[in-house]
Amino acid sequence: MKAVTVRFLLVTLFVIGLVIQEAKAISLSFQLSSSSATVGDTVTLSAVIGGLGDFTSPSLGAFDFNIDFDPSLVALTASPITFSTLLGDEGVGESLSGSSATAGSVNLFALSFLTALELNALQPSSFTLATLSFKALDSGVNTFTFPTSTAILGDGIGDPLIATLGSSILTITPITPPPTGVPEPASVLLFGIGIVALGMAKAYGLRAR
């Protein structure tokens, strides 16, 4: 009887552990200001983390990842990249962040100098890590992705966090040319009257000779 009870408790704890782990599944995803654009438009893209502890552990202490895109369809604009302050205020030395870009990829990173308890007090379960903007260059379908090999996340005490990585699609359409002007009926009528008058003048001139 005791063995059965112990086995039941172990199974129960195992199931509870799986439920907790599932509930705290961490993710990296994108939020686009619009899923469609016209050539020449600018859209904003936010990298969002989800599944954290909601003002408890696990919190996020560091991240380093790339965002890949099709450079023939979109280009990173010169607008400054905005980083979250939920890893600490960089202005007072609580965190460090930065970025670098190559053709078709931009790297974003941030490191917090706050303690795990301070990070827990700051961070909800989901928040935006960084926001950047892109200009649509040509028509087509662009996919923003997090390359698996470059995504690194760390919690408040430096342990790695494993996250599912999302993607986002931006559909770009060409610029629609303005419709060709169609002559108004009055203009057509005046043009016709002019042709008739010109013909009559020529006929009168011939008879006069």
Domain ranges of the chain: 24-172
Q: What is the third-level CATH fold of 24-172?
A: Immunoglobulin-like (2.60.40)
CA angle 203, 204, 209 (to 5 degrees): 100
For the segment 110-123, the average pLDDT, to the nearest whole number, is 98
Q: Tell me the pLDDT tens digit for each residue of 151-181.
A: 999 999 999 999 999 999 999 999 987 776 6
Q: Residue 143 — very low, low, confident or very high, per pLDDT cuts 50/70/90?
A: very high
Separation between Cα atoms, residue 106 and residue 139, nearest integer Å: 21
Q: Tell me the pLDDT tens digit for each residue of 43-85.
A: 999 999 999 999 999 999 999 999 999 999 999 999 999 999 9
Q: Which residues are CB-neighbours of 30 under 8 A, at least 6 positions away?
A: 45, 46, 47, 48, 144, 166, 167, 168
